[in-house]
Structure 1
Amino acid sequence: MAEFTFDYERRSRIGLDEAVFCAGKSTAQIAAIVAGVRDGVTGLLLTRLDPEKFEALPVEQRAGLDYDPVSRTAILGAARPIEPGPAVAIVLAGTSDVPMAREAARTLHFNGQAQTTFTDIGVAGLWRLLDRLEEIRLAPVVIVVAGMDAALISVVGGLVSGAVIGLPTSVGYGVAAGGQTALHSGLASCAPGVPIVNIDNGYGAACAALRIMNTLRRHASAVSDHQPGQPGR
């Protein structure tokens, strides 16, 4: 009896494909899932796939996976073609936040969403953010990735007009408490309208960005279809 039931209709309901969260699953379970959905989907995203579990997968499965050990993500099959339009910005406080940012970037890439990453522009050297601010402001959605005190989330939230999504990370010493300080800082931000995802949840931040971008595209399409003088479809 199969130990999983794949949600093939998720994209039609919410605009996002099901992904496989590999943490807590055995190598045998992951291999069974990959084998079981190979004929049913054109592509599959796997998250939190540790290098040891990846190396333990059958050789033929490893050969068919685009694996990134930094983000611990793997893509089976083809990612969706990149949609035309603006890119999502991913803004990192420091290079220690790269693994979480890469998880977000790979999730966006798998779903056909362009993204631009701005690395190492934390508030300890505020000039680094200000030097890139005009570029960041072009993005309709900005994912801010920060650990320690996560002050960058509030700073960016107060400087850009697009949607800002805070991604607190477990980076930091002592009272950073494995990301708890960053999470609480983001939740207590005085920058209005900044939602916060869970600690290190790059996948979740990317999915929030994708929901916004998909909504913007649907709205733009509806407006285009109903311009004066243009017949509706």
Structure 2
Amino acid sequence: MEQQKALELLQKVKDGELSPEEAVLKLKMSPFEDLGYAKIDLHRELRQGIPEVIFGSGKTPEQIIGIASAMQARGGENILITRLCTESAKIVGEQIPLTYDPMSKIGIVGRKSEITASGTIAVATGGTSDMPVAEEAALTAEVLGNKVVRLYDVGVAGLHRLLSKLDVLMDAQVVIAVAGMEGALASVVGGLVDCPVIAVPTSIGYGSNFNGLSALLSMLNSCASGVSVVNIDNGFGAGYLASMINHIGGNR
């Protein structure tokens, strides 16, 4: 939306309806909106192609409502709220239209389904317990305009489950591999596909898993080429990065 406004502003300069000096002033006056408790980055979409995302954890429902409402007032759609607890989602949903997924704790204000990239992002998990993190990645990617295919519970303890979906994996533009325990899924997937693999370690596992640290270190030490790693339980970061790769990659 901000990119469209900038283009309209430049067109007015081209058509002689606005002087260059006036255009510069307008751009200077709208880099962010100060709400007191938050400064909304209104130029984020112009710089990065994706609007600012609201991190719900630690914010009150009233603050989230204020930020989302201000973004909506600027024409914002598909406003993404991550780590939004169920209690806050209920309050926010009473004030503004909200689509909420309790598993991933993702909230979306003004959801608009639109595919803007030609490739597919595959999201695979080692086990069912990894699904909340995987859904955070999958929904983030979908909101950002990507087609997403989910392959859940295909961990290395039953490798035949993963291999039965090899055609889906090899057709993907990007694969997000989400796993806890020893985090071996990312290496296996990395050795099977010819596309980037984004590994997401989860905090799922027994004591020596150290809340995801063992999976993180395993993924960082992957012997498969083309595997990158985000932080523990960071499904959002994986979905965001996968979307950027998919929009750059084009057709496979």
Indicate the SS of the match to 2:40.
Answer: coil
Instruction: Report if aligned partners of 1:90, 1:145 keep a CA contact under 8 Å in 2.
Output: yes
Question: Of 61, 71, 74, which aligns to 1:27?
Answer: 61
Is 1:55 the counterpart of 2:90? The answer is yes
Structure 1 residue 52: deviation in Å? 1.6
Question: Of 192, 203, 220, which aligns to 1:170?
Answer: 203
| 1:212 paired residue number | 245
Is 1:115 the counterpart of 2:148? The answer is yes
Task: List 4+ stretches of structure 1 deviating above 3 A.
Answer: none
Query: Partners of 1:94 and 1:14 in 2: how far apart?
Result: 33
Task: Decide which structure has the larger Cα Rg and report it.
Answer: 2
Indicate the SS of the match to 1:79.
Answer: coil
Structure 1 residue 68: deviation in Å? 0.5
User: What TM-score do you get using the length of structure 1 for normalisation?
Assistant: 0.88
Indicate the SS of the match to 1:195.
Answer: strand
- Percent identity among equivalent residues? 42
Query: Partners of 2:80 and 2:112 in 1: how far apart?
Result: 9
Count of residue pairs brought into register by the alignment: 216
**Amino acid across the alignment from 1:29:** Q
Structure 1 residue 83: deviation in Å? 2.5
Query: Partners of 1:84 and 1:18 in 2: how far apart?
Result: 20
Structure 1 residue 84: deviation in Å? 5.3
**Amino acid across the alignment from 1:49:** L
Is 1:138 the counterpart of 2:175? The answer is no
| 1:191 paired residue number | 224
Instruction: Report if aligned partners of 2:125, 2:151 keep a CA contact under 8 Å in 1.
Output: yes
Is 1:43 the counterpart of 2:81? The answer is no
* Structure 2 CA distance for partners of 1:12 and 1:169, relative to 1, 3 Å: same
Q: List per-residue Cα deviations over 1:172-221 (Å, max 9, x = no partner).
A: 1111111111111101111122110001111100111111112123xx7x
Instruction: Report if aligned partners of 2:81, 2:106 keep a CA contact under 8 Å in 1.
Output: yes
Q: List per-residue Cα deviations over 1:38-63 (Å, max 9, x = no partner).
A: 211123000000002212336232xx
Instruction: Report if aligned partners of 2:117, 2:246 keep a CA contact under 8 Å in 1.
Output: no
Q: CA RMSD in A?
A: 1.5
Query: Partners of 2:115 and 2:93 in 1: how far apart?
Result: 30
Instruction: Report if aligned partners of 2:65, 2:95 keep a CA contact under 8 Å in 1.
Output: no
Query: Partners of 1:54 and 1:72 in 2: how far apart?
Result: 9
Indicate the SS of the match to 1:137.
Answer: helix
Gaps of 5+ in 1: 221-233
Gaps of 5+ in 2: 1-34
Is 1:101 the counterpart of 2:140? The answer is no
| 2:23 paired residue number | none
Instruction: Report if aligned partners of 1:86, 1:140 keep a CA contact under 8 Å in 2.
Output: yes
Structure 1 residue 165: deviation in Å? 0.5
Query: Partners of 1:157 and 1:26 in 2: how far apart?
Result: 40
| 1:228 paired residue number | none
User: What TM-score do you get using the length of structure 2 for normalisation?
Assistant: 0.81
**Amino acid across the alignment from 1:13:** R
